[in-house]
A and B are shown apart, each in its own frame.
Chain A
């Protein structure tokens, strides 16, 4: 049985979307919403003779982190690569909408109460983005999710948790970038274009998608931490991710806004400096970037534990 306590020490990487959802919030507090028993399956996959799943590959629900209602969205990579179609997209949109309505209803009460119970959104990404079998619906859903992230700005923190095997790519890579806080393990990856597509576009000499070390150096948690894209690098247990989420739930909204990479003119100006830096450097490998930022021994960083790594890594700072 997947009890909360046994889940805590489980590998995030190896866990299912539902185990992650249950384990990311306080013991026994998770209620799944539109779970498998509701049988909201994709209306589009059967026509193509493609297997369906009762939750369409996305677990949504609500739990608690202390007094904070935590709206959880957890993608399942083993079902069609965690791809987002009409139903899964609607579950994401519905959950974000719910977070906003919980925020608004708490505003009706005292300010202190509203602050103490400020909701938080946790999104565990495991996806390549749009589900091609229902591509147009998936694409339109992505835009709705982005729209809601903007609605939630300065109200409800949205935390991206990226510790899955597939990581977060494609259109969902934009979504993750647009969240407030990004938490990653070194075993997961975040980007836009997957390694196979880069290899196809640039040739194998430029990028060998079968080179696992290269793939992780380019989009893995450690690199994203150095680039400032990942705010917190954590270990690979569900407890590691949950504790980090709990920490964010207690931070002030001003502090959280300050962790964003994008979402304001100031943030865009800082990113433009990074792009200019890269244009001058023309890195052939992410370690060229690490060195240019003052990390003299990239190999040492690659081998370091995530705790040690966070102490010694020099990060991009505009």
Chain B
């Protein structure tokens, strides 16, 4: 494993590294079918086992290009990819409907995506719906009791990370020693668009995690639960966190999971401290006028 210097572009290899040997069956989720074999090729979905337990895998594949939507290459999530990912989630929820919490299969999201389809046809049809659909599906899976865990192994960029990652119960990230990227935009682009000086931004980013690029800064903001130091530690870390998510759900501590839990974690880690104060003030102010609205 020492020879690996990056996992970018290695979505499929990562699946094999994490799951029980030879257990991954692409598209093998009960009831899951695709309109054509190469549908949404930038997304890989299927079932696998982890320590013998059946789980659903949703990963990016940076290698193929979508033959029908030319802007979708290099792991970009296009419309077909977004809906394919959403379907994998809905079929997983259906497969375990009615089962107790402990038997709801985990969903593992392997994240290496540079963005959403930025094309004209995408806008004509509504790219925003495809990624929105996948996010809602993940939120539903999480609230239905499935542990949803994301592992960032390469690129987790802006809207694509919102779509594939930020709806998970917990998010892990491979250390940036392996070129892992988590950001909305690189600092150079932020500097250009906000007309800020790049040296100044770079200096500020060392102390202010709020606009800096990289897993470390997301960690401080509560956006990343744990940083994994090396690729060969991914599997064990994933297994540990899936167990932890099962436990928290069994104890009904869902407030510590998902986007809301990351808000709380961000405050604990000192990254986002105004958020909570704003919400508290809103509740106080509403309480003072509530009668007018609840008894009108």
Contacts and interface: CB of A to CB of B under 8 A. Distances in A.
Contacts of B79: 271, 275, 278
B174 interface: no
B126 to A, nearest CB: 5
Nearest to B279: A94
A268 B88 CA distance: 11
Given A134-B210, A136-B210, A265-B87, A229 B129 contact: yes
Contacts of B162: 139, 142-143, 146, 171, 174
Interface in A264-318: 264-265, 267-269, 271-272, 274-276, 278-279, 282-286, 289
Given A94-B282, A150-B143, A271 B130 contact: yes
A86 interface: yes
A191 B140 contact: no
Interface in A226-261: 227, 229, 261
B174 to A, nearest CB: 18
Interface residues of A, number: 94
B125 A278 contact: yes
Nearest to B275: A90
A144 interface: yes
B158 interface: yes
B283 A98 contact: yes
Nearest to B292: A31
Contacts of A151: 143
B152 interface: no
Nearest to B70: A202
B268 to A, nearest CB: 14
- How many interface residues does chain B have, given as a range? 35 or more
Interface string A132-145: 11111111111110
Contact of B122 (A133, A192, A272): A192
B181 interface: no
Interface in A192-214: 192-193, 197-198, 201-202, 206-207
Nearest to A31: B289
Given A132-B193, A150-B139, A177-B132, A40 B210 contact: no
A165 interface: no
A191 B123 contact: yes
B133 A267 contact: yes
7 contacts: A117-B296, A140-B222, A174-B128, A177-B126, A192-B127, A275-B83, A279-B68
Interface of A: 31, 33-34, 38, 40, 43-44, 47-48, 50, 60, 62, 64, 67, 69, 86-87, 89-91, 93-95, 97-98, 102, 105-106, 117, 129-130, 132-144, 146-147, 149-151, 170-171, 173-178, 190-193, 197-198, 201-202, 206-207, 218-219, 223-224, 227, 229, 261-265, 267-269, 271-272, 274-276, 278-279, 282-286, 289
Given A134-B210, A137-B271, A142-B162, 17 more contacts: A33-B285, A90-B274, A94-B279, A94-B283, A102-B294, A130-B158, A132-B190, A140-B259, A143-B135, A146-B132, A171-B162, A192-B127, A193-B116, A193-B119, A198-B120, A198-B123, A265-B94
